[in-house]
Amino acid sequence: MSYPPQVQDIFGTVTLYRRKGDAAAQRGREETAREAWLAGLKKSGECFTAMDIPAAVSTAQAEAYGGDVAAVAGELLGVRGGLLRRLGRVDDALESYRTGAVWEASHHLPQTYNRMNAFKLALIVGDRTLAQLRKPLSEFRNELEERLSTDERAADDAWLWADLGDVRLLLGDDAGAVSAYRDFVTRARSDSPVAALTVLNEVVEALYTHNDPGAARTARALDEVKTTIGAS
């Protein structure tokens, strides 16, 4: 993605802090990781100032900006959401993903990171039930299916197939989910399937915790997917 000159250096620094934090966490250096993530989060606020856009927007406000600005804003909010999740601030992460989803949807951006994470994190924190998300999930599934069937570049994007698999699974379309994940596996790195399903494991655990009526059905579907694609 191409960033405006005034944002390029700032965003690069944010990404560097995130990577430093992740590397420290993998080595068990939790305090060092937390410091790096906090530094990245603080630095990310400078991007909004440099771009002269609000950190939170309505659909109408987002539509008033150009597509290039929207793409950068969506990317930034996705990174912020990830940093907030790492810091354990899940409610703030959900808000960041939802704002990023506004930018993505208002400009029909090819990126889907914020929208998919907003769905899954809402279920994890108990902010929404599967039943409450059925309509927006169905609309998102329809959008993904159309893009993947008409856009060759989108069809080569492994993670869009993973998103489609996630959405179909949450909607109860087990066979459709397995089919999408198979397309994902053919395009992804060898270690990607396990990583892709990690958050869905969290979703299933949360559905049980929040007594969601769809918990058992989703758990069975996820087990089937894991078995089929060899990610169990």
pLDDT tens, residue by residue, 210-224:
999 999 999 999 998
> How high is the pLDDT of residue 18?
95
pTM score of the predicted model: 0.89
Please, which pLDDT band fits residue 103 given cuts at 50, 70 and 90? very high
Residue of 210 and 54 predicted with greater confidence:
210
Residue of 6 and 205 predicted with greater confidence:
205
Please, which pLDDT band fits residue 1 given cuts at 50, 70 and 90? low
Rounded to whole angstroms, how far apart are CA atoms 213 and 222? 16
Residue corresponding to tokens 């993530």: 37
Other residues' Cβ atoms within 10 Å of the Cβ of residue 189: 9
> How high is the pLDDT of residue 175?
92
**In the predicted structure, residue 196 carries a pLDDT above the cut 80:** no
Other residues' Cβ atoms within 10 Å of the Cβ of residue 208: 12
**In the predicted structure, residue 231 carries a pLDDT above the cut 60:** no
In order, the DSSP letters of 66-98 are: -HHHHHHHHHHHHHHHHHHHHTT-HHHHHHHHH
CA angle 216, 112, 33 (to 5 degrees): 80
- 153 exposure class (CB count in 10 Å sphere: 0-12, 13-18, 19+): exposed
Residue of 224 and 29 predicted with greater confidence:
29
Please, which pLDDT band fits residue 57 given cuts at 50, 70 and 90? confident
